[in-house]
Amino acid sequence: MIHKTTRPLDPLSYDEFMTLVGQSDENLRLLSQVFNVDFVLRDNQLIADTPDELIVNQLQRTLNSLLLLIRQGKTPDERDIIYLSHCVIHNQEEAFFKLNTRIIGRTTANKPIYIKTLGQQRLMDAMANYDLVFVSGPAGTGKTYLSVVYAVDLLKKGDVKRIVLTRPVVEAGESLGFLPGDLKEKVDPYLRPLYDGLNDLLGNEQVERYIEKGIIEIAPLAYMRGRTMEDAFVILDEAQNTTSTQMLMVLTRMGFRTKLIINGDQTQIDLKQPSGFTQAKDILKGVKDIAFVELTAMDIVRNPLVQLVIEAYSKKRDGS
């Protein structure tokens, strides 16, 4: 027989209750997945199917914090719920309410884009204040998307004249020469995450027009050699798969009035040699006017299973 544990919740109205549970109880199902426990809410009480006091306490704190968010006039979405849960688990829920909630962009559907985590806020601040930023973090932390959001914002304001998006093409057993299609068709699958962010913010037709005019350039890293980029916002994605030579080449391409954002995930290095991204971080650490932003599993704003997978693999690598 499952031992049930009961905890009181802050008193809430019917409308507050409906917002808290979400449409068809979707918020409760998400919390059940995050904390890996079945529970119900009844008569201002949390009733959980577990004797684990820690989990029930964390779930209680998360629900009460979500209620506080609702009373501030906000309707929590999936990302809010996931990140707030992470903050509670790490005893940092107060930090959640200190987030800068300014709108940093809008999609083509006019949906506002907000900073969702403290790590993302550090990234936005770094991009605003530094011309060269190294960003480390696992999948799902928003490295690429936020870089594209900020690049598009500066382009619209006229602070940069063009956006250059690039990444190394690390082939998985196949040579590009043997893949069907012209060069664009060969490399586009590798660059799809960059296109996705641009299309979300500008729309497919506008992106294509900007590409035709040279205002936006999306190309594999090999095509950056021998060029100097000025009045540009340059994003190097998947930088963990750059060689030392490639990384030095990119770093020396910076011209005047240029921002260079270098995104990498050191848990996904596919090279058979030392990573230029890792090496550059070690060499440049402490150099004035260069920012280093570390995002973690806490900054993941995807399905909660993504964080569980990353944490499981991290434990395996650490031998725990």
Question: What's the confidence (pLDDT) of residue 175?
Answer: 45
Integer Cα distance of 256 and 252 in angstroms: 12
- Return d(Cα 289, Cα 247) in angstroms, integer: 18
pLDDT at 116: 82
Q: What is the pLDDT of residue 129?
A: 96
Rounded Cα distance, 306 and 296, in Å = 12
pLDDT for the residue numbered 295: 93
Collapsing DSSP states into helix, strand and coil, what is residue 279?
Answer: helix
- The whole-number pLDDT of residue 174 equals 38
pLDDT at 183: 53
**pLDDT in the model for residue 178:** 47
pLDDT value, residue 270:
82
Q: What share of the chain is helix, strand, coil (3-state, %, to 5)?
A: 50, 15, 35
Long-range contacts of 211-216 (CB under 8 A, 24+ apart): 214/162, 215/155, 215/161, 215/162, 215/163, 216/162, 216/163, 216/164, 216/165
The pLDDT score that the predictor gives to residue 187 is 60
Exposed/middle/buried for 2, CB within 10 Å: 0-12, 13-18, 19+?
exposed
* Residues contacting 217, CB < 8 A, separation 6+: 162, 163, 164, 165, 211
CA dihedral 48, 53, 59, 64 (to 10 degrees): 110
Using 50 as the pLDDT threshold, list the residues of the chain that sit under it.
171-179
CA dihedral 62, 65, 67, 69 (to 10 degrees): -130
The model scores a pTM over 0.75: yes
Please report the domains of the chain, with CATH numbers, ordered by start residue: 5-96 (3.30.1370), 121-318 (3.40.50.300)
Instruction: Supply the pLDDT for residue 139.
Output: 83
Sheet holding 5-8, edge to edge: 5-8, 45-48, 39-41
